[in-house]
Amino acid sequence: MFDPYRSKPSRSRTNFASCICATVFLIFLIAAIVVVYFLLFKPKTPKIAVEAVRFPTFSVTNGTVNFTFFQYVSVTNPNRDEFTHYDSSLQLSYSGEPVGLVFIPAGKIDGGRTQHMSAKFDVQSYPLPAKLKADVSGGVIPTAEAAANGGGGVGAGPTMEVETWMKLVGRVRVGGEG
Q: For 119-178, what is each residue's pLDDT tens digit?
A: 888 888 888 766 666 666 555 554 445 545 555 444 555 567 788 888 889 998 776 554
Name the pTM for this structure.
Answer: 0.62
Least confident range of 44-48, 51-55, 86-90, 138-142:
138-142
What pLDDT, in 10s, does the model give residues 81-122? 899 999 889 898 877 788 888 898 999 999 999 999 998 888
CA dist 122 to 91, 96, 116, Å? 13, 18, 21
Averaged pLDDT for residues 44-59: 90
CA dist 102 to 15, 88, 124, 128, Å? 66, 9, 16, 22
| 110 vs 1, more confident | 110
SS (H, E, C) 33-96: HHHHHHHHCCCCCCEEEEEEEEEEEEEEECCEEEEEEEEEEEEECCCCCCEEEEEEEEEEEECC
